[in-house]
């Protein structure tokens, strides 16, 4: 089941990958770190969506 958290999580991960790559290409450590943070946040959102799905399926 795809829900809002999965979509937002994947979008945040994509944003993070872009920032990480841009920071790496331009030697901008701050941008690269922000990208890594966004990727982690995106994965956390997707995990939250998985937990929600599991809880919904148990009902």
Q: Quick: pLDDT tens for 2-48.
A: 688 889 999 999 999 999 999 999 999 999 999 999 999 999 999 98
Residue 1 clears pLDDT 60, i.e. is over it: no
Classified as helix, coil or strand, 59 is coil
- Length of the chain equals 59
Domain boundaries, the chain: 4-58
- 41, 5 contact by CB (below 8 A): no
Cβ(55)–Cβ(47) below 8 Å = no
- Placement of tokens 């993070």 in the chain: 16
């Amino acid at each position: 089941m795809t829900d809002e958290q999965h979509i937002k999580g994947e979008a945040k991960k994509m944003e993070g990958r872009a920032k990480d790559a841009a920071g790496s290409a331009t030697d901008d450590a701050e941008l690269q770190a922000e990208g890594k943070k966004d990727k982690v946040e995106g994965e956390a959102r997707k995990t939250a969506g998985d937990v929600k799905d599991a809880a919904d399926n148990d009902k």
